[in-house]
Structure 1
């Protein structure tokens, strides 16, 4: 790959609600950025869907915008994006029905049935992955019973990134990180046929693309080139998906190091050298295969991210820009208000799986302010992060990214609750950065990773708050244990 002063790599992060493109030069400097929203359709009954054509259009919009902002050529296109859900396509890459998001809850009752019948535990023992309603297995099984014609028309059942790749390159593929949940044996990086059979999907096995070798390079075909306004034959890399891409882009490299992504998903990941787990433990989380053989990310992606704060802001009439100020108006402990943050209609998926999980607030009084309610919710999300990192085995340095860490006070709450400093990369496009770093290695021009991630700041914990939040976390665990006995669909 040419890496002269005039050659650039475009990293594209296709998020759930926002598609971002960042152009990097060979020194790791982002020289152009663009973003545009994707439509997320929330339908009755907990259904959440997206339109592939609209999402593909967002990719074209941001790529064309950033490509027009730089002088010189584009050396490659590096893609990452949201994982899970189900993106059904035909052999030409056209959707056979709207994509079903990882946020979708149509398979809630099915997942509860699988939990009661031992299916989730059987799959967990074979793949180290805890299934949840928005994972491909549950959605495929639901469609097999309620909408089999969609599966009949499909040639491939995949994910967001590989759906875009198919339309840009004509290749049917899937990155090993996306394939990690729910059917992949992470140790062998191949599908576990008995896990597929346990979900009743052996007859749909042909819809699963075989995982590509790490750092596989594709090429823009004529249609993809016309869509993006880039040359046909341009190198394209596809993955890893956004969670591991963020870890790579932030600088997670040593076993035990972790990253907190405070986005739509509260994703907590820890790097490890082997997929070891207790097969009789809580069937939740997953081991994500990284681009490096023998390297994995133990991921606990909770459903309690920034969407919870958006909900609170809407309900309380708060501008998102005012969150930081309001958090400062309520002291640790939120005036006695406590919360459980499980607002997703599909419940929770890490560090436990329960489609019936729901939020609650306690300790409210006539003296409770909007700031108290908001702070209680932010503290509860931080407690959920601690719960996830305890399950994932965090022992080393902690990095953080996502929209949530744009709030300095919420980031300090995370540091206080987790009892450790947090390194926040200075460039918010860490997912795109991680995808570009993988692309550079794939094309034989690896960059100086230390230099690429050196622009960061450290948020220190406040010792006077750490002890206070120790008790707060204990109270959170007590409330959670009591609530889990009461939830039902």
Structure 2
């Protein structure tokens, strides 16, 4: 069997797959996420490793079969500084972090964000390498001085299990890789003011690289020394592969902590004139890329709202089915991350809004408004990711949010396309296992391992409501972005002062 290990932001999961792609064992464990009032969000590398070891051991015990390989995927972005032995020189910084928010805002104003995007196709945001390394160089230079590598979650786990310093090309994409050559763009690195720390960026590992558990890693996860290990791709492309997708035009909607919308393409168009948002991601196949638009908040926004209203996630279906499309006139902008938004537009000042609320508004209408707002955001993301087409031809949905039938129906109706929902919503481990099998020499089409699924068809005539609803959403976004910009300027007008 192959064990797929997915080290997420708040949950670590391991699944064991047999040679036919059938899941035969599964385990998961929550990871600790430390969030502070000033916008810092960090994790503990030892806690993350402990969760990875725990779920791996439990799956091995449950399945009771020899392990052919350990295939690792996980969250992307953030900053995981380590020394030569793989120990953190400071707590790993999550992709949700906002400590560099002011810096990114300055870079937006002075054109740095646009210059980097024009070279790499990766939109800078507070939780990615460029601003985070720059911030630490000013505020915590000793952490950088002690570090051997500035990496990501997946390669941090790989280093501790194998002793090797690596990085998958998918992770390295964010934000300094020229995705056409799979080499770092030194001008993009210099534009972020971190050329002196170029040594910390590991060169991308060739696709198909297979490593081995060393003695330290073997003791940690309870597998034999020499067990093959693969690292990457990270969770966004990993889930796309796990969904059985790989052909140009295939699309994936991830309803997880991140609302990620991505489309496979066989061409790259880095247009410097484009608004810098989202990213182009390398896949294991050199001639294939993902055009990705990962919004900062997906199910996290819904979880926040349900907690605020004092209702559980098990009430979501009833709340949605008890309300009509349009949510009784209530609408929502679901931009709830403290670090703003990175897709379908980049604006660190973005904040959530509710509009149309009255004394007669119900909890269900507020919940539906947020669910519809997230679906409208997905359509906006796909419009940017799919270029010529509004949404991709074949669209698969995964992640925890896809388990809700009524919410999946809202997405199908807003996007006006059939939505394929696998029975197994967590596709990251499956994608990692497929990548490992191919690296070990199996001639495997990702579609061969796709999980059984159901198709959610758009409701007849739903577009007659959601089309004007989407146009109102876009107008609301435009108005809000103008407001955020003026708010940042203190609403100053020529000849006036503010205080």
Aligned counterpart for 2:419 among listed residues 422, 429, 442: 422
Check the 8 A contact 2:424/2:451 in 1, yes or no: no
1:259 to 228, 236, 252: 252
Segments of 5+ residues of structure 2 without an aligned counterpart are 489-499
| Equivalent in the alignment of 2:172 | 179
Tell me if the contact between 1:120 and 1:130 (Cα under 8 Å) persists in the aligned partners.
yes
Superposed displacement of residue 402, structure 1: 0.4
Give 1:448 deviation, angstroms.
5.4
What's the offset of the Cα at 1:256?
Answer: 1.2
- Residue pair 1:27, 1:447 contacting (<8 A) in 2 also: no
Give yes or no for the alignment of 1:449 onto 2:442. no
Deviations 1:22-41 (A, max 9, x none): 00000110000000000000
Alignment partner for residue 211 of structure 2, among 200, 218, 224? Answer: 218
Q: Does 1:407 find its partner at 2:400?
A: no
Deviations 1:233-278 (A, max 9, x none): 0000000000000000001122111100000000000000011142
Q: Does 1:478 align with 2:475?
A: yes
Provide the secondary structure at the position in 2 that maps to 1:100. Answer: coil
Partner residue of 1:111 out of 86, 89, 104: 104
From 327, 339, 344, give the equivalent of 1:334.
327
Do the aligned partners of 2:243 and 2:446 also contact (CA within 8 Å) in 1?
no
**Per-residue deviation, residues 161-187 of structure 1 (Å, max 9, x unmatched):** 000000000000100000001000000
Q: Distance in 2 between matches of 1:38 and 1:20?
A: 10
SS of alignment partner, residue 115 of structure 1: helix
The equivalent of 2:360 in structure 1 is: 367
Match of 2:189?
196
Q: After TM superposition, give the deviation of residue 318 of structure 1 in Å.
A: 0.8
Correspondence for 1:60: 53
Q: Distance in 2 between matches of 1:72 and 1:304?
A: 38
- For the residues of structure 2 that align with 1:194 and 1:354, how far apart are their CA atoms? 23
1:31 maps to 2:24: yes
CA contact (8 A) 1:255 1:396 kept: no
Q: Deviations over 1:370-413 (max 9, x none)?
A: 00000000000000000000000143111110011111000000
Greater than 3 Å deviation, 4+ residue runs: 446-451
Distance 1:153 1:146 in 2: 14
Q: Tell whether the 8 Å contact from 2:246 to 2:446 is kept in structure 1 after alignment.
A: no
For the pair 1:289 / 2:286, whether they are aligned, the reply is: no
For 1:142 and 1:449, how far apart are their aligned partners in 2? 40
Q: Indicate yes or no: 2:138 matched with 1:141.
A: no
2:27 and 2:451 map into 1 onto residues whose CA distance is: 23
Stretch of structure 1 that moved more, 413-422 or 390-399 = 390-399
Q: What's the counterpart of residue 150 of structure 1? A: 143
Question: SS of 2:175's equivalent?
Answer: coil
Question: SS of 2:467's equivalent?
Answer: helix
**Equivalent residue, structure 2, for 1:99:** 92
SS at match of 2:68: strand
CA contact (8 A) 2:245 2:447 kept: no
| Deviation of 1:351 (Å) | 1.3
Q: Secondary structure in 2 aligned to 1:310?
A: helix
- 1:454 Cα shift? 5.1
Q: Distance in 2 between matches of 1:360 and 1:280?
A: 29
Q: Is 1:42 paired with 2:22?
A: no
